Structure 1
Amino acid sequence: MTQENPKPSRSFAGIAGIVAAATLISKVFGLVRQQAIAAAFGVGAAATAYSYAYIIPGFLLILLGGVNGPLHSAIVSVLAKRKHQESAALVETVTTLVGGLLLVVTFAQIFFADAIVDIVGHGLEPATRAIAIQQLRIMAPMALFAGLIGIGFGTLNAANQYWLLSISPLLSSITVVVGIAILTGQLGKDIIKPEYAFIGGMVLAWGTLAGAILQWLVQLIVQWRLGLGTLRLRFNFKSPGVQEVIRIMTPATISSGMMPINVATDLYFASPIPGAAAGFNYANLLVQTPLGIISNIILLPLLPMFAKLSEPENWPDLKLRIRQGLLLTAVTMLPLGALMVALSVPIVQVVYERGAFKQEATQLVSSLLIAYGIGMFAYLGRDVLVRVFYALGDGQTPFRISTFNIFLNAILDWFFVQPFGAPGLVLATVGVNCSSIIMLLWLLDRKLNGLPWREWSVPILGLMAGSIVAGAASFGTLVGCQQLLGTQGLLIQFLQLCVSGFVGILVFAAIVSLMKIPEVNIFVTRMRQRLLKK
């Protein structure tokens, strides 16, 4: 059945503009939050403990409660094909089911917090271990709120509500920053002293939990106003719509739930490396800030489109949408990754190097940023393909691939950590994502009766070559600026970063314009028209 939507459907570019603006605001607040953590705690005990304690609550919030997570994807895939009046009952039933299961997960984290921390942080110092255990117990209820937020995101997305989806995550950042500001006002420079590490760790944990609760409350109010479900308990788990959600959600959730296992494996190998766990958090945020914005722009409009084209007679159009998603991923992620590789040191210096964050931390985080930059296209490209399988009602295939990747990740971690250190663990993740893309494409080729491999691969390879050229131009510009202006001073570093980045983007834009990729040209034209109109 087709959903009856009272509002006219927006264009891809129109949705992208809304999502881009809201997500940019949210990600800027996320960056400010991480800057506040870096300045207050550096890579000390409070931040290191938080890195381990946040593994399960954080990934539940990001994956289950995140935009484009499995719950969001499952809800959109089902509601997009149903009438509006059916939504409330379905959403309430799914909420009852998911909420009950995640309550069990919440209590399990509280009771087994010490064992969980010991598993993922086998080399932690006793003081850091104690902080991490208490942080995990405080943040355990985020498991429940993660599920509720994910269901709400899917419900609002299916109802063409994009602004709140993209901007509400800033609430988690605001609460943490406020908590750090209050603590800094009371302790001043003493905040970095070891004896205050426990207090700092508690501020991080309570601030994170408060942000998740606020995020859920805000979207719940909008759901109620739109008539898309309340807190009413429903147990009609055998209804066709709920069963379809379960068929997509269950393997997708388990598959996504394996991500913390991969992260825990990385942290296991990283725990003997001083400051590596906190370094991962800082580098990951620098990647996730632009990646989150771009992934929302691409995935949010495409997921309902994939769902509406899931029938065999619509597969030719579905393939065109998949190509559009992959090419937009390539044209954004490849040059961005190249710039992160070329400009890793000044990026980290400008964003983090102040307060407790010293030159040694810059060297560690910049090396990790290089490794993350190499794999940015693989990260988002995999997500595009996984959403195609969700839209086709197939959550089993991504689940099987994720299961295989747990073992592959552990093997690659073991091989790469010795020669490359902490960056080797990121390179292992890049290898896992690349293998996922290959397997997903091969299986999608069989599922959709063939894919136009040449039409997809040639422009992507061209964009890859153009990104390498742009990265080289950016790095050459940076070296030239450093010889002229030196490397000291935040203003000089920021100026060099802007100039070098601009040169790289200009070179890549010139190359893309010569390639004349239809999807890219149409998207850019529509975005330009929308901006000029505003």
Structure 2
Amino acid sequence: MRLQPTPSTRPTPRSRVADGIGRASAFLASGTIVSRILGFVKAILLVSTIGLVGVSTDAFTIANQLPNTIYAIVAGGVLSAVLVPQIVRAGLHADGGVAYINKLVTVALVILAGTAVLATLLAPVLSLILGPLLSPDQRALVTAFAFWCLPQIFFYGLYTVLGEVLNARRSFGPYTWAPVLNNVVAIAGLATFVLLFGADSDGVRVASDWTPAMIAVIGGSATLGVAAQAIVLFYFWRRIGLRYRPDFRWRGVGLGSAGRMASWTFGMLVLTSLAGVVETIVVGSASGPEGNPSATALSNAWLIFMLPHSVITVSIATAYFTRMAEHVSHDRLSDLRTDVSSATRGISLIIVLAAAGLIVCAYPFSAVFSSVSFDQVQAFGNVIIAYVIGLVPFCILFVVQRTFYALGDTRTPFFFTLFQTIVVTVLVLLCLMLPLSLTAIGIAASVSIACILQLTLAIILLHRRLGSLDGARILRSLGKYLAAAVVPIAAGVGLLIALGGTTPGGFAVSGRFGAIISMVIIGAVMSALYAGGLLLLRSAEFRVFLDPILARLRRG
């Protein structure tokens, strides 16, 4: 996405590069949209299969989150932070970085395989750590699911390693489109479960009702989907001329510098995951037959929260990240600052509207997952709102964090993550004092507050590192975006009330059909008013976004 209009219609080198960023971002976003749509279908089908609240659904959610948590601790962000900058620099080697790639991938996969095996053997211990407040029967069900889910650690790592190498070689599409296959396999698994064992949309099935075959179908299909999304990337390696050959000679190609970078990111992920463990333990106190929103509600609300972040922020920032690393490798810090400003303004332009829309449509969105009762819709919707309050800061933080990674600095992100971990842990523990019906909402709000404070600190530290961050221009743009969102929010709330989105039995919360139709109407009106507001406020970023569309329409 290019945010600087050129004085001439003839493409300049800068405009061609910016257009390349735009095309790459659009391609990444298209894959993410398809994947996220299927992800929502999978989440809705899961809720229809085992319920939104209840003993069984929370047990599966906790078990299925275990591999994500452990993978994040061991390698998740380490790989993203280290691989792209290191591979870009290794591309300057005589062999184009092939030897480095083989060695780095080999060491990563050895660590991941060892971690997956060890974690699977320790499933009972891990279930006890994450579920000390669960009943013995529910914790046993968590353990049974975990045996099937924990091998995902290896496949998540394989997917990240293969995908980040493709990104570093500017082959962005496969990494984004591969999760589509994951969701297709998982959806097929859930459909098979319903055909074989029946659905339990109200979540009344207790732990003792689960047989080994039922556990195998749910847990096994989840893991098979992750494996499929990883293994398919080998095909795209071959398409760009890469052939992976295991190489255990790990000395002599600069893995020491990668290790030093990884050590700080590893520490950062340990902190983040410890905070996640605290969240899981605290929200587990609300799990039970009473129907309070707990682990599954938090997980699905986070899925909704991550939709605009994944489609917009990750797509744009991923396309920028490789270029940022190239600027640093050639000591072009002024170009790096320009990219940080451009990425931040381009992302925020859309994320402000997305945040406003999600807050207004939280109750209809909740009804898409479950409309068993209005109280449940309202409770889940409030969890969504509590998360979305922190969406804009979260997306900007992603850009700031990736800027440090491009600089080869993983030490500084460790410290502002340490600060965030302390804040969120204290706030989440205070949620134990809330009524059980408000525990999940309190945890989501705690995450948002901590993110806002973390972003503030991160910007201060990045300013010290780079000097000027084009802050005045970024703040002016953000001010225009927020001002342009005022009228759309007011109109959206009015439409929500008119469509019955705030009353029991109202059209907007009566079921999936009414909820989807209501969200389409509200979203369309809010988007049109937001666009009009940006035009009235003369937003330069919006004009850059709009002008190519208008030009194509005129040509058409």
With structure 1 as the length reference, what TM-score do the two structures score? 0.90
Q: 1:325 to 1:253 in 2, by over 3 A?
A: farther
Other-structure match for 2:10: none
Q: 1:235 to 1:143 in 2, by over 3 A?
A: farther
Tell me if 1:353 matches 2:367. Answer: no
Other-structure match for 1:383: 398
Tell me, yes or no, if the aligned pair for 2:49 and 2:198 is still in contact at 8 Å. Answer: no
Where do residues 393-412 of structure 1 align in structure 2 (5 Å cutoff)? 393-412=408-427
Shift of 1:111: 2.8
Q: 1:437 to 1:99 in 2, by over 3 A?
A: same
How far does the alpha carbon of each residue in 1:237-281 deviate from its partner, in whole angstroms, 9 at most, with x for none? 4412x3343333332243234332222111222111134111111
Other-structure match for 2:296: 278
How far does the alpha carbon of each residue in 1:49-105 deviate from its partner, in whole angstroms, 9 at most, with x for none? 122112331245679887xx4413422222234248433211211122112222332
How far does the alpha carbon of each residue in 1:157-208 deviate from its partner, in whole angstroms, 9 at most, with x for none? 1222122111101222222211111121122347864354455443332112
Tell me if 1:214 matches 2:228. Answer: yes
CA distance in 2, matches of 1:237, 1:529: 54
Q: 1:514 to 1:256 in 2, by over 3 A?
A: farther
Q: Aligned-pair RMSD on alpha carbons?
A: 2.8
Letter in 1 for 2:48: A
Q: Secondary structure at the match of 2:111?
A: helix
Q: Secondary structure at the match of 1:482?
A: coil
Tell me, yes or no, if the aligned pair for 1:45 and 1:197 is still in contact at 8 Å. Answer: no
Shift of 1:513: 2.1
CA distance in 2, matches of 1:374, 1:298: 21
Other-structure match for 2:345: 327
CA distance in 1, matches of 2:550, 2:175: 23
CA distance in 1, matches of 2:552, 2:277: 44
CA distance in 2, matches of 1:528, 1:60: 47
* Partner of residue 515 from structure 2, selected from 470, 478, 493: 493
Other-structure match for 1:164: 174
Where do residues 36-55 of structure 1 align in structure 2 (5 Å cutoff)? 36-42=45-51, 43-55=53-65
Letter in 2 for 1:174: V
* Partner of residue 440 from structure 1, selected from 458, 471, 491: 458
Shift of 1:311: 5.7
Other-structure match for 2:84: 76
CA distance in 2, matches of 1:62, 1:526: 39
Q: 1:529 to 1:417 in 2, by over 3 A?
A: farther
CA distance in 2, matches of 1:123, 1:387: 37
Q: 1:71 to 1:157 in 2, by over 3 A?
A: same
Other-structure match for 2:272: 259
Where do residues 33-432 of structure 1 align in structure 2 (5 Å cutoff)? 33-42=42-51, 43-59=53-69, 69-81=77-89, 82-83=91-92, 85-189=95-199, 193-194=205-206, 195-198=208-211, 199-240=213-254, 242-274=255-287, 275-310=293-328, 314-349=332-367, 351-353=368-370, 358-416=373-431, 418-419=433-434, 420-432=438-450
CA distance in 1, matches of 2:418, 2:506: 49
User: Which runs of no fewer than 5 residues in structure 2 stay unpaired?
Assistant: 1-15, 288-292
Shift of 1:480: 2.1
Letter in 2 for 1:398: P
Shift of 1:295: 2.3
CA distance in 2, matches of 1:492, 1:49: 30
Tell me, yes or no, if the aligned pair for 2:32 and 2:177 is still in contact at 8 Å. Answer: yes
CA distance in 1, matches of 2:262, 2:414: 11
Other-structure match for 2:488: 470
Q: Secondary structure at the match of 1:80?
A: helix
Letter in 1 for 2:493: F
Q: 1:229 to 1:404 in 2, by over 3 A?
A: farther
Letter in 2 for 1:114: P
Letter in 1 for 2:99: A
Identity, in percent, stands at: 19
Tell me, yes or no, if the aligned pair for 1:344 and 1:369 is still in contact at 8 Å. Answer: yes
Q: Secondary structure at the match of 2:533?
A: helix
CA distance in 2, matches of 1:196, 1:231: 47
Tell me, yes or no, if the aligned pair for 2:49 and 2:200 is still in contact at 8 Å. Answer: no
Other-structure match for 1:5: none
Tell me, yes or no, if the aligned pair for 1:51 and 1:277 is still in contact at 8 Å. Answer: yes
CA distance in 2, matches of 1:293, 1:158: 20
Tell me, yes or no, if the aligned pair for 1:478 and 1:500 is still in contact at 8 Å. Answer: yes
Shift of 1:156: 0.6
Q: Secondary structure at the match of 1:52?
A: helix
Q: 1:312 to 1:449 in 2, by over 3 A?
A: farther
Q: 1:163 to 1:533 in 2, by over 3 A?
A: farther
Tell me, yes or no, if the aligned pair for 2:189 and 2:222 is still in contact at 8 Å. Answer: no
Tell me, yes or no, if the aligned pair for 2:28 and 2:173 is still in contact at 8 Å. Answer: yes
Shift of 1:481: 3.0
CA distance in 2, matches of 1:524, 1:161: 27
CA distance in 1, matches of 2:200, 2:426: 43
Letter in 1 for 2:345: L
Q: Secondary structure at the match of 2:499?
A: helix
How far does the alpha carbon of each residue in 1:345-386 deviate from its partner, in whole angstroms, 9 at most, with x for none? 11111x2126xx554432332111011111111111111100
> Bigger CA drift: 99-108 or 519-528?
519-528
Shift of 1:18: 1.1
Other-structure match for 2:527: 505
CA distance in 1, matches of 2:233, 2:553: 28
Q: 1:469 to 1:523 in 2, by over 3 A?
A: same
CA distance in 1, matches of 2:553, 2:112: 42
CA distance in 2, matches of 1:55, 1:281: 9
Tell me, yes or no, if the aligned pair for 2:36 and 2:307 is still in contact at 8 Å. Answer: yes
* Partner of residue 475 from structure 2, selected from 452, 457, 482: 457
CA distance in 1, matches of 2:65, 2:385: 23
Q: 1:499 to 1:376 in 2, by over 3 A?
A: same
Letter in 2 for 1:370: I
